[in-house]
């Protein structure tokens, strides 16, 4: 696939009286890992909805693989913002992952079913979930469930992966696992990644660029370019200090910042 996986030009999204963002210019290249940061309500999920073809822009242009986004496209994998699975969900991990495949592409009959099984097996292996693939999903830990969700998003072999806060409520080790597997995926398959996250630090080792949204304002660039005291103070319209400690970025002074810390003893945790 040549050309950008995602292309936003002069993109604006209004919802009721609010303009979530406008003048957004962003190309995401194949294999590129872009993190979308910003406080609650800044329009991160809305941006993914636009890329999924679920919501039109108010103005400007959006292209996914060179065409207007199409709902249900097999080329786009999606990890929705997390809800805990009902403990009584009558599905095994294997079934959950299979839901990410549309039934028709394998053809009917035994052969189609065998290929489908094989595809699900590969996706489970990719996220290292084979050990619990046959357990009821409701009995699994949050981290295990999240890996299955990522497998479900990857099983159709997408060239664009959209993930909405996939690290939420995972402990640090599990966060690292999810980040590493998404990173491996994009390196091995050139999958473009748009990764919404509340916490920058877990993705900092792998991220290429950051889109930071705050109340209609935004910055796009590498973490070094975006994560400066001057930039974030402008975005938050208050005095914000960005501090680098042991390879981590801490944001001090902004409510609800993705790497918000107001207690000094937090420095050095992890
Ligand atoms: N279905 C909706 N109808 C109208 N406005 C909405 C709807 N969903 C979200 N919004 C508005 O869009 C804003 C951004 O929402 P969202 O994209 O979910 O933010 P984020 O994911 O960054 O927390 C919200 O603050 C809300 O005002
Ligand atoms: Mg959201």
CATH number of the CATH domain containing 53: 3.40.50.300
> What gap in Å lies between CA 174 and CA 65, rounded to an integer?
31
Per-residue pLDDT band for 269 (boundaries 50, 70, 90) equals very low
SS3 state at 230: helix
**Quick one: CA dihedral 199, 205, 211, 214, positive or negative?**
positive
Q: Which two tokens stand for residue 6?
A: 């995602």
Q: Give distance in angstroms: CA of 136 to centre of ligand 1.
A: 33
Which ligand 1 atom is at minimum distance from the Cα of 165? 21
User: For the whole prediction, is pTM greater than 0.85?
Assistant: yes
> What gap in Å lies between CA 20 and CA 12, rounded to an integer?
8
Judge whether residue 260 has pLDDT over 60: no
Nearest CA, atom 6, ligand 1? 15
Residues with CB under 6 A from ligand 1: 15-16, 18, 20, 38, 40-46
Burial of 22 (C-beta count, 10 Å sphere; 0-12/13-18/19+): middle
- Of 11, 16, 42, 166, the one to substitute when testing ligand 1's pocket (max ligand atoms within 8 A of C-beta) is 42
Domain identity same for 170 and 69: yes
Residue after which a domain boundary falls, among 157, 179, 204: 157
State the total domains in the chain. 2
Q: Give distance in angstroms: CA of 108 to centre of ligand 2.
A: 38
Question: pLDDT tens digits, residue range 182-222?
Answer: 999 999 999 999 999 988 999 999 999 999 999 999 999 99
Question: pLDDT tens digits, residue range 32-50?
Answer: 999 999 999 999 999 999 9
Domain identity same for 142 and 185: no
Degrees (nearest 5) of the Cα angle 26, 30, 31?
110
Q: Give distance in angstroms: CA of 186 to centre of ligand 1.
A: 28
Residue 48 lies in a domain: yes
CB 39 within 8 A of CB 45: no
């Amino acid at each position: 696939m040549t050309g950008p996986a995602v292309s936003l030009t002069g993109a604006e999204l209004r919802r009721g009286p609010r303009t979530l963002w406008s003048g957004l210019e962003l190309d995401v290249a194949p294999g590129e890992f872009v993190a979308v940061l910003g406080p609650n309500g800044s329009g991160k999920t809305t941006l993914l909805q636009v890329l999924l073809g679920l919501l039109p822009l108010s103005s400007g242009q959006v292209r996914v693989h060179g065409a207007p986004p199409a709902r249900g496209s097999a080329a786009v994998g999606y990890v929705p913002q997390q809800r805990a699975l009902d403990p009584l969900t009558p599905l095994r991990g294997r079934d959950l992952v299979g839901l990410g495949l549309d039934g028709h592409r394998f053809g009917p009959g035994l052969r189609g079913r065998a290929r489908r099984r094989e595809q699900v097996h590969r996706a489970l292996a990719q996220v290292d979930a084979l050990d619990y693939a046959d357990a009821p999903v409701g009995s699994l830990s949050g981290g295990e469930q999240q890996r299955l969700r990522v497998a479900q998003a990857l099983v159709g072999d997408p060239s664009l992966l959209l993930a909405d806060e996939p690290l939420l409520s995972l402990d640090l080790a599990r966060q690292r696992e999810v980040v590493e597997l998404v990173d491996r995926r994009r390196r091995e398959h050139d999958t473009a990644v748009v990764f919404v996250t509340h916490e920058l630090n877990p993705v900092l080792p792998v991220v290429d660029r950051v889109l930071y949204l705050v109340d209609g304002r935004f910055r796009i660039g590498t973490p070094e370019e975006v994560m400066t005291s001057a930039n974030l103070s402008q975005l938050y319209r208050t005095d914000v200090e960005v501090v680098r400690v042991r390879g981590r970025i801490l944001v001090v002074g902004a409510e609800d910042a993705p790497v918000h810390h107001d207690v000094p003893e937090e420095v050095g945790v992890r």
